[in-house]
Amino acid sequence: MSAIITPFPTPAARVAQVGFDRLELQRILDLYGRMVAAGQWRDYAMNFEKDAASFSAYRRASERPQARIEKRPALRGRQGMWTLFGEAGQVLRRGHELAGVLFPLERRLLKVVEG
């Protein structure tokens, strides 16, 4: 009777996926926390695939995301790897820097706090 040996997958065999680094995630979650405190967002979801990572923020869990921040490194040399999508899926902002892409959301937060 011979045993069948199945090797563990090696790092090269695993499918690579895009993710957020610590500073990027800290910046996104900081904005999320301020939007929660302002009553704008209540839930979030993160999705990591082989070509993109996304952070979606929801007003209510049963709705479409109010905003989606996507990191797509393949576009780094073109229009930028960061994209901000609106509730209907439209592109609100593209850029090379996360701070510039998050600016429309932060500006909306300032209006909410002042009003």
Q: For 9-23, how does the pLDDT look when each residue is reduced to its tens digit (9 = 90+)?
A: 666 555 678 899 999
Q: DSSP of the chain, one letter per residue?
A: --PPP-PPPPTTTSPP-----HHHHHHHHHHHHHHHHTTS--EEEEEE-SS-EEEEEESSTTS--SEEEEE-GGGTTTT-SEEEE-TTS-EEEEESSHHHHHHHHHHHHHHHHH-
Share above pLDDT 90 across residues of the chain, in percent, rounded to a whole number: 55
Nearest-angstrom CA–CA distance, 94 and 85? 9
Confidence (pLDDT) at 32: 94
Q: Quickly state the pLDDT bin for 45 (edges 50, 70, 90).
A: very high
The domains of the chain are located at: 22-114
Which one is predicted more confidently, 63 or 18?
Answer: 18
Mean pLDDT over 2-7 rounds to 77
pLDDT at 85: 94
pLDDT bin (cut points 50, 70, 90) of residue 54 is: very high
Report the predicted TM-score, pTM, of the whole model to 2 decimal places: 0.79
For the residues 27-38, what does the mean pLDDT come to? 93
